[in-house]
Amino acid sequence: MIKVDENYPAQELAPAFPYRQVQLKQEVDPRQSFDILPELGRGTFGTVFLCRDKTSGLELAAKIVPCKKKKERTDALREIDIMSCLHHPRLIQLYDAFDYENKVYVILELVQGGELFERVIDDDFVLTEKACAVFMKQICEGMEYIHSRSIIHLDMKVGRNSVGYIVF
């Protein structure tokens, strides 16, 4: 997650929730614990919805991956395994995970600032050299952490980086 202000690194935001050890819940309906709310977006592998933890009221994102083929389930479960061991402020955090009725539900930290690419190409956004350096530094911090865990991100592109906080 990219967090930007001109005073970086002086101002860091607290995480939305403490880091969690997530165990995949098999054949448990995620709707017992979460309200699934409006759709936020669609991707190649699934659809992302706003969701709310019924106990805490915390707003999160629910990525729902239909698993019609064994490879789809294997890929989704691998993503959960990887995300469950990555705890870093520059990475979206895993909150919970379910395998239920031929779908994998990946419950994630909600990032509401939009995609970095959309922000940068917006005519109303003034991209200073300093802000650009901050963006790049924070992306590199997240990637350095991933690589330090011997993990390679195979789908890195500008549109995949979410902006969690911008102040200018």
Domain range annotation of the chain: 17-109, 116-167
On whether 68 is known to bind a ligand per the annotation, the reply is yes
CA 37 to chain centre: 17
Q: How confident is the model at residue 3 (pLDDT cuts 50, 70, 90)?
A: low
Kindly state the average pLDDT of the residues 56-68. Answer: 97
Residue 79 has pLDDT above 50, yes or no: yes
CA 72 to chain centre: 19
Catalytic position from the list 53, 81, 123, 155: 155
Among left, alpha and beta (phi > 0; psi -120 to 50; other), residue 95 is alpha
**Tokens in use for 11?**
């101002």
φ/ψ of residue 154, rounded to 5: -90, 0
**CATH number belonging to domain 17-109:** 3.30.200.20
Answer yes or no: pTM beyond 0.75. yes
Q: Is 155 annotated as catalytic?
A: yes
Query: What gap in Å lies between CA 74 and CA 132, rounded to an integer?
Result: 37
Per the CB < 8 A criterion, the answer to whether 47 and 121 are in contact is: no
Tens-place pLDDT, residues 117-126: 787 788 888 8
